[in-house]
Amino acid sequence: MSHPTVPVYPYADDVTWYAFDVDGAIGAFTSNGYGPIPVPWLRLSEAQKDAVHEIVSRLPLRFREDELVIPSAQNSGRDWEDFARQGVFAFDWTFGHSATVQPVELYELAASPPPWAKLESPPERCRWRELLTLKGVRFSAEGRHVDVEAAVDCLLPGRGSPSSPT
């Protein structure tokens, strides 16, 4: 019986990966080279990752900048705002540079669609939904932070094996 190969953490690479919440909302997560990255994302081929990036990049702009929720000026940025304008929740790894009073090791909301936004079904080509759904996570209700490690097996820098969600 063969076991799937445990992927290697892309240390110091700023990886953007994507996942769904329990409602089907799409989240874009930027690791800053140190944040946890789900093992299922790391196991995708480069072609599969590129296809996901392409699907998300082609989502239409649905909201104006003045309609977005941007919790911290420190986390504002064109990429995150563009994600939010497309209806995608954008998160950034916070360790060491969090805009919060106390540093936390969680993904922090950088920008989101307006709270009244209706979720649209993702494009039919998003067949990775089951593979990359964060168990028990609802982006619109999580507040400013998402604990990815509690929702899915992840790799972190310096850790030789995946974490396990509780």
pLDDT digits (tens, 9 = 90+) for 80-92: 899 999 999 999 9
Give the 3-state secondary structure of residue 129: coil
Residue-wise pLDDT tens digits, 121-160 = 665 556 666 678 899 999 886 678 899 999 999 998 876 5
Interacting residues of 17 by C-beta distance below 8 A, sequence separation 6+ = 28, 29, 31, 37, 38, 41, 49, 132
Q: What radius of gyration do the chain's Cα atoms show? A: 15
CB contact burial 112-143 (16+ within 10 A = b; e otherwise): bbeeebeeeebeeebebeeebbbeebebeebe
Residue 166 has pLDDT above 60, yes or no: no
Residue 79 has pLDDT above 50, yes or no: yes
Report the amino acid identity of residue 131.
Answer: L
CA distance readout (Å), 127 to 28, 121, 135: 16, 12, 17
Residue-wise pLDDT tens digits, 29-75 = 999 888 999 999 999 889 989 988 988 898 899 999 999 988 865 55
Q: What are the sequence ranges of the domains in the chain? A: 16-155
